[in-house]
């Protein structure tokens, strides 16, 4: 059953959408140990450093600007990626986008808060899945090192609509719904779709100032630790796919 990890795959590549934060970066670096990686973000500033870092470590990477909530923007970006990795199959797509966090009393929100959450969460996933699943299906029969995989990042708000998180939770619940549906449709076709509930604050520049879990060591999620679980999901044998797992700091209340 076990497959040796190829040094760097010549035949397959990975796409990670949403590398503006620490998780996307760590996931890209983790998958780049095995695959050439394409990293997508709204702005070059978000991915330039990652591409450099992958190359510095002996890997291969391409960065492309894209707004995944916009079908055409994503389509153009994927064209660039496919040109770059022509002849390779898609091994894994990671959907790690999801802005739209606005914590406000409901009556102070506007419908734009909702629309932004829906766009960056579920419409983005819709577009990303719609564009990458045909390639993932093609890879099933192309002797990939591991089952072709679509990984989706969720959050606490994927499972719980907390007070004042309504518009955000709407987007996250919708992402979970679509992920489940895709898992049920594409699993039997050999594509592994998994949803990861990240339940806590992720360590990174944006969260440096946050005191969570009373500031104890490892009280925020280490992006590299998250990336290890993404990699594990990708490497699961098709007889034992995980559809959903949670990740949280050992001290996190849940």
192 close to 148: Cβ distance less than 8 angstroms: yes
Instruction: Please report how close the Cβ of residue 16 comes to a copy of itself at its closest, in angstroms.
Output: 18
Here the tokens at position 161 are 């609509």
Instruction: Please report how close the Cβ of residue 209 comes to a copy of itself at its closest, in angstroms.
Output: 18
Nearest partner of 121 among 192, 191, 179, judged by Cα = 179
- Category of 98 on φ-ψ map: left (φ > 0), alpha (ψ -120 to 50) or beta: left
Q: Determine, following the binding rule CB under 8 A, whether residue 33 of this chain makes contact with a copy of itself.
A: no
Q: Determine, following the binding rule CB under 8 A, whether residue 91 of this chain makes contact with a copy of itself.
A: no
Site for a copy of itself in 137-196 (CB under 8 A): 147, 157, 160-167, 169-182, 184-188, 190, 192
Q: Determine, following the binding rule CB under 8 A, whether residue 54 of this chain makes contact with a copy of itself.
A: no
Residue number, 53 or 228, with CB nearest to a copy of itself: 228
Site for a copy of itself in 93-122 (CB under 8 A): 105-107, 109, 111, 114-115, 118, 122
Kindly tell me which residue out of 53, 71, 82, 145 binds a copy of itself, with binding defined by CB under 8 A.
71
Q: What are phi and psi of 176, to 5 degrees?
A: -65, -40
DSSP H/E element including 44: helix 44-56
Nearest partner of 25 among 13, 7, 9, 37, judged by Cα = 37
Number of residues that bind a copy of itself (CB under 8 A): 82
Residue number, 61 or 122, with CB nearest to a copy of itself: 122
């Amino acid at each position: 059953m076990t497959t040796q990890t190829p040094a760097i795959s010549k035949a397959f590549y990975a796409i990670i959408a949403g590398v503006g934060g620490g998780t996307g970066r760590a996931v890209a670096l983790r998958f780049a140990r095995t695959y050439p990686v394409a990293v997508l973000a709204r702005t070059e500033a978000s991915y330039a450093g990652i591409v450099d870092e992958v190359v510095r470590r002996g890997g291969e990477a391409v960065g492309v600007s894209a707004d995944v909530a916009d079908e055409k923007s994503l389509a153009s970006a994927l064209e660039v990626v496919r040109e770059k990795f022509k002849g390779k199959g898609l091994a894994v797509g990671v959907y790690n986008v999801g802005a739209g966090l606005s914590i406000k009393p409901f009556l102070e929100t506007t419908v734009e808060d909702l629309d932004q959450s829906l766009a960056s969460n579920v419409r983005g996933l819709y577009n990303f899945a719609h564009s990458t699943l045909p390639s993932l299906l093609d890879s099933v029969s192309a002797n990939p090192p591991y089952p072709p995989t679509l990984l989706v990042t969720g959050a606490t708000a994927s499972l719980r609509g907390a007070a004042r998180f309504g518009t955000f939770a709407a987007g996250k619940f919708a992402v979970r719904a679509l992920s489940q549906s895709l898992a049920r449709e594409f699993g039997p076709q050999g594509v592994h779709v998994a949803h990861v509930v990240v339940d806590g604050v992720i360590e990174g520049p944006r969260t440096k100032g946050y005191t969570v879990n009373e500031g104890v060591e490892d009280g925020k999620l280490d992006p590299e630790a998250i990336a290890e679980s993404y990699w594990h999901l990708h490497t699961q044998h098709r007889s034992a796919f995980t559809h959903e797992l949670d990740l949280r700091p050992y001290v996190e209340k849940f």
